Structure 1
Amino acid sequence: MQNVTSLPNMTSTLQLTGFHIGKFPSGWEYPRHHHHLFELLCCLGGEVEQEINRTTVILRPGDWLLINAGERHKSANTSPADYEFINVHFDLDDLEIRSLLGAAPYRLVPAAEAAGSERLGRYIQELRELTEHVPEGGAAGAGTPLEDKLLLQANILLIIREMLALIRVQGEAALDAVSVTPSAADAAHAIEERLSLGLSDHVSIASVAKEMNMSRSQCTKLFTKVYGLSPRQYVSRRKLMLAKEMLVKTYLPVSEIAERLGFQSASHFSRQFRRWTGYSPTAFKPRHQGNALVSHVPGEDRKNAPY
């Protein structure tokens, strides 16, 4: 008797545009800024003052801080000791993960709570070992073995996973202030469904808002609050995910993929795909596509089912 367990199909992109382990002396500061990435900080030694939207948070050894994308913040080491840290700027296109990560302007996980995860200590130690060979002030670049780069990304994902678990454990009280009503959540899901079904038809947030008897501003704010990204960002991420699937899993030419995703031309699609990934569509395609590839378009069967 055969016993087979099937796991869900998962296509998710991790973007790491900044990862640092180091220290800053007393008096160091970084001016107020914002970016469209999540920022995860761990204080390894000393302390640092983080000001997020005029709210001041002090990080001490063992504390973790997750700052939501788009939040204005600045940093300063006002203590006499060096501030030692791990800092990661990242993004993920998984909507459920983004919804939890972006549920509040920031989430502080104190050292006492972080200590409840034995895995975090192991992941940090492995990150330190992976970066030991990098000269002080240098960067882990072309000289880093491929397997170490993969291990680095894996550790970052595992740390994010632990942060998600710790945020959940913080309890419903921390989420009450940012929760949405069931009717608002239903409206956001309806917006998402309309955007998802209109990926190839140039559906606009203005038309969706009109269909739901909402202003464009209301529609955008509601969607962003529930999903952690704007409708425009959502459409871009969905198109990127489908583009990757079609490039890897089908025989479709780039021109047809561009048409199915609603781009004006293959060249327009190619430019946008390169902006998204740093690669051209043809470079992203596997060099030797085997018999496992099909002409069925991933996601096409979802048109009659909720996303």
Structure 2
Amino acid sequence: MTAPRLPTGFERTDAEILFPDVKTTLNLFGIHMRRVPGNWSYPSHEHPQYEINYLLEGKQTMTVNGNRVAQRSGDLLLLKPGDVHDSRSGDGEPFTYFCIHFDLDDRLFLSLLSRLEQVLFPADGTVARKVAPALGRMMEPGSAFDAGSIAGRMRLQACAFELFAQLWEAISEETASLPMQSYGKVALAHEIARRLQALASQTFHQGQPAESHYGIEEIADELGISGSHASRTFRDVYGKSPRAYWSELVLHEAKQLLADPRHAVQAIAAILGYRDIAHFSRQFKRWTGFAPSDYRRLSGSRSAEQPD
């Protein structure tokens, strides 16, 4: 077996690499590949999710929000939630397409998608070329049949995340020439969130006070902006204050620790940087409505009730 390889230089230093938490939720709907006859058409409709429509062969004509869009083999259509669209053959001949409906909760990614001014991405353009390999893996023979199993669903999601990673990079290039003001605000909020996550991880490891030192002023100084501007920008993008976001990080860590019966509540309070167990218990009850010991007991009961 090949031994794992450390990052270059890491093995020679007393160092630590902090990886950000990954909490993106992805939902996939109505994935299908279909070959239709030349007289086929689909009436005007809309979806609450994004839609990717990738043409494999033939020609397709869509009317999107009243605008006619001609799609050829290899072209990709990206429709936003609420886009009213219909579909038919572009030349009266059969055509084959692959379709995915999706939503996800990454605000930065969704903000980037919302800035797009186009629907059609041609086959020879950056977006279609970059996502084509990931789309191809999703369409490999047997994928649809295997998706009924847990392992199959995981593989399908892995392909989808790779697809969105490529889509993010490609669309970032496409939108580079657009006005930066809106995207700059979102990128700044995302950077503040990333630094808060890193600070939270450091806090939990070192037992620093979790509530009295949540770092937004320090982060603002590092970014060369005022604390008020940092807080206002963060709230505009995430819909909550940095302090509320910080509290969510602490609460998430507390729940993770309480789920492990090896950790006493007093030890958890110390890990999270609270000065005593009473302070931690009051704060946790303010967040959840339960004392930490009650939450542990109730969550343990729910786990025990889950079927094998």
- TM-score, normalised relative to structure 1: 0.57
Check conservation: 2:41, 2:87, Cα contact below 8 A.
yes
- For residues 67 and 171 of structure 2, what CA distance do their matches in structure 1 show? 19
Structure 1 segment 50-61 matched on structure 2, within 5 A: 50-61=62-73
- For residues 243 and 83 of structure 1, what CA distance do their matches in structure 2 show? 52
- TM-score, normalised relative to structure 2: 0.57
What are the Cα deviations for residues 72-110 of structure 1, in whole angstroms up to 9, with x where unaligned? 222222423222111111011011001001213643221
Distance 1:27 1:11, change over 3 A: same
Distance 1:257 1:35, change over 3 A: farther
For 2:233, the aligned partner's letter is H
Specify the SS of the correspondent of 1:129: coil
- Pick the aligned partner of 2:171 from 159, 167, 171: 167
Given the alignment of the two structures, is residue 68 of structure 1 paired with residue 72 of structure 2, yes or no? no
> Could you say which structure has the larger radius of gyration?
2
Distance 1:159 1:190, change over 3 A: closer
Structure 1 segment 137-148 matched on structure 2, within 5 A: 144-148=148-152
- Pick the aligned partner of 1:91 from 99, 103, 122: 103
Given the alignment of the two structures, is residue 155 of structure 1 paired with residue 159 of structure 2, yes or no? yes
For 1:260, the aligned partner's letter is W
Q: Please, which runs of 5 or more residues in structure 2 have no aligned partner?
A: 1-12, 189-228, 260-282, 290-297
Name the structure 2 match of 1:196. 240
Structure 1 segment 12-31 matched on structure 2, within 5 A: 12-31=24-43
% same residue: 21
- For residues 43 and 243 of structure 2, what CA distance do their matches in structure 1 show? 39
- Pick the aligned partner of 1:126 from 130, 134, 137: 137
Check conservation: 1:64, 1:114, Cα contact below 8 A.
no
Check conservation: 2:33, 2:97, Cα contact below 8 A.
yes
Check conservation: 1:107, 1:167, Cα contact below 8 A.
no
- For residues 7 and 181 of structure 1, what CA distance do their matches in structure 2 show? 24
Q: Please, which runs of 5 or more residues in structure 1 have no aligned partner?
A: 135-139, 201-237, 263-280, 289-307
Higher helix proportion? 2
Name the structure 2 match of 1:8. 20
- For residues 132 and 158 of structure 2, what CA distance do their matches in structure 1 show? 15
Name the structure 2 match of 1:104. 116
- For residues 94 and 255 of structure 2, what CA distance do their matches in structure 1 show? 47
Name the structure 1 match of 2:193. none
**Which shifted more, 45-54 or 88-97?**
45-54
- For residues 115 and 127 of structure 2, what CA distance do their matches in structure 1 show? 23
Check conservation: 1:130, 1:152, Cα contact below 8 A.
no
- For residues 74 and 160 of structure 2, what CA distance do their matches in structure 1 show? 17
Distance 1:76 1:145, change over 3 A: same
- For residues 182 and 115 of structure 1, what CA distance do their matches in structure 2 show? 21
Check conservation: 2:61, 2:90, Cα contact below 8 A.
yes
Root mean square deviation, CA, Å: 4.1
Structure 1 segment 235-250 matched on structure 2, within 5 A: 245=252, 249-250=256-257
